[in-house]
A and B are shown apart, each in its own frame.
Chain A
Amino acid sequence: MKLDPSFIWEALVKLLPVIPTSLLITAVSVLCGFVIGTVAAFIRIYKVPVLHPIASAYVTFIRGTPMLTHLLIIYFGLPLMIDALSSQLGLGFRSASIPMIDFAFIAFSLTAGGYMSEVVRSGLLTVNRGQIEAAYAVGMTTPQAIRRIVFPQAMAASIPNLSNAVIGMLHASTLAFTVSVVELFAKAQIVASTNWKFFEAYLAAAIIFWGLTVLIERVAVFLEKRVNSYNRGGVA
C-alpha cells in the first residue's frame, strides 16, 4: 500500500460537508459553556453560601476527569434518568427519540463550563479593584458596574485563554464519534472504509482541523489587537 495523494484531495472534498457539524458542536459547547462558566465563576468569586462549594466541586470534577467520561456518563446516564422520570410521571416521552448529537451538546457544554469558569474567573480577577470602586463612586449599582466596567475588561484580558478554550473544544468535538455523531473524524473513517486508505483520510481531516485552528488563532490575535487598542500605554 502506498500513499495516494489524489485520495487525500478526494477525502478532503468529501469531508467538507461535515465541517458545519464539527463547528456546530464547538459553537454550542463554547457558548453554553461560557454561560455556565460565567455563572460558576461569579458564584465562586462572590462566595454565594450554598452554591459556592457546589460550583467548586463541579469545576474540580470536570477538570480532574477526562472529557470522554463526561460524554459517556451523560450518554448512558441521562436516558436512564429521563425514562425513569417519564414513566413515573406517566409521560409518553422516550429517551430514544432524543437525537444523538444532543447528548454531545449537553456533555460538551458541561465540560466547557468547567474550563470556562476558570478562564472567566482569572479574567475577572485581573481587573483592578479600583475599577469597580470608581464605578460605585459615580453611582453605579453592582450589576451595572460588572456589566459595563468589569466584564468588558475581563473579557479583553482573557481573549488568549478563550481562544485556547475554543480550539480545545474544536479538537474535543472529535470525541462525539463515540456516541455515533458523524463529525469530521467519524466521516474520515467512513470515507476510508470503502477503500481502506485510512492514512489519507485522516491526513485530510488533520489538514482541515489544522486550517480551522490557525484561523481561530488569527481571529484571536486580530480581536486582541482591536480590543486592547485603548490601553496601548505611552503618549499620544
Chain B
Amino acid sequence: MGEKFDIGYVFTFFPKLAGTLQTTLIIVGGALLTSLIVGFLVALPRLYKVPVLQRLSQLYASFFRGTPILIQLFLFYYGLPEILKLVNIDVSRAPVLVFVILTYGLHTGAYVSETIRSAVASVDRGQVEAAYSVGMSGYQAFTRIVMPQALAIAVPVLSNVILALLKDTSLAFSLGVMEMTGKSQTLAALTNHFVESYISLALIYLVISMVLERLLIILERRLLRHESRAADPFPVFRRERFRRIRQWFTRERSVRLREEAQ
C-alpha cells in the first residue's frame, strides 16, 4: 500500500491542509463558546446544592466524561434528529457541522463544569463570609470576590481542556466533516502518499497547539496580573526584558535584608 516515501510531499500538502484549518478552528471556537456557557450553567446547581438539578448535572458530567467522544458524536448525529422529531422540530437538514459543534461543546462543557466547580470550591470559605459581612449580596460576593480568585485556579486547567478539544476535533472527519484530518485522508487517498500526508497533518496540529498554548499563557498572565503584583516587589519591571534587572535588584535587596537581620 502506498508509494515510496517522498519528503517533498509533506511540504506540498502543507498549504493544502492549512486551507481547511478554518473549519477546524470554527469547530474549536464554536465548541468552546458552547462549552463555557453549558459548563457554567451546569456547575451552578452543584455549587449552590440545588436539590434535583444537582443530581442531573452530576449525571451529565459523568456521562460526558465517561464515554468516548467518538461514540458521543455518532449518538448525537443519529439520535438528536429522532428526539427532536418527537417535539416536531425537523433538523435532518441541518449541516453536520452543527451537530459536531454541539457534541464537542457538550463534551467539553462537562470538563469545564468540573473545572469551575473545583476552582470555586477551592476558594476559601472565609472569603465569601467576609464579603457577606461587609454587606455584599450573594451575586456581588460571587462576581467580585469568588470569581476572580476561582479564575486564577481554573485558567491553567481550562487551557489544557482547550488543547484537548483542538486535538479531539480530528475525529470530526468520521461524520464526514471536511476539516484537516478529513482533507488529509482525501489527499492521501488521491496521491497514494499516506505517511507524508499524515506527517504534514501532525506538524500542522503541532504548530497550532504550540501557538495556542503560548496565547493561553499570555491570557493567563493577563488574567492573573493582580496575583503577580502582590508577590512582585518591583511591579514597574514586570516586562520580560527587565527580568534580569529585577532579579539583580531583588537579590541585592534580599542580601541587604539578610545583613540587616544579622
Contact = CB atoms under 8 A, between A and B. Distances in A.
B220 interface: no
A131 to B, nearest CB: 27
Interface residues of A, number: 38
A215 to B, nearest CB: 10
A171 B68 contact: yes
Given A64-B209, A65-B209, A198-B74, A172 B195 contact: no
Contact of B202 (A73, A76, A171, A188): A73
Interface stretch (B59-67, B120-128, B145-153, B221-229): B59-67
A23 interface: no
Contacts of A171: 67-70
Interface SS of chain B: helix, strand, loop or mixed? helix
Interface stretch (A31-39, A40-48, A140-148, A200-208): A200-208
A4 to B, nearest CB: 11
A26 B91 CA distance: 36
Contact of B198 (A73, A172, A210): A73
Interface string B26-57: 00000000000000000000000000000000
Nearest to A172: B68
Contacts of A63: 209
B5 interface: yes
A80 B2 contact: yes
A105 interface: no
Given A64-B206, A209-B67, A214-B66, A202 B198 contact: no
Given A76-B2, A77-B195, A68 B181 contact: yes
Contacts of B210: 64
A201 B169 CA distance: 23
Contacts of A61: 202, 206
A152 B235 CA distance: 42
Contacts of B238: none
Interface residues of B, number: 36
A9 B216 CA distance: 45
B82 A69 contact: no
B199 interface: yes
Given A64-B206, A66-B181, A72-B194, A185 B167 contact: no
Nearest to A189: B74
Interface of A: 1-3, 60-61, 63-70, 72-73, 76-77, 79-80, 167, 170-172, 174-175, 177, 185, 188, 198-199, 202-203, 205-206, 209-210, 213-214
> 8 smallest A-B Cβ distances: which pairs?
A76-B194, A66-B170, A171-B68, A213-B66, A66-B167, A69-B202, A210-B66, A77-B195
Given A1-B82, A77-B194, A177-B70, 11 more contacts: A3-B82, A65-B202, A66-B205, A67-B170, A69-B201, A77-B199, A80-B4, A80-B5, A170-B68, A206-B75, A214-B66
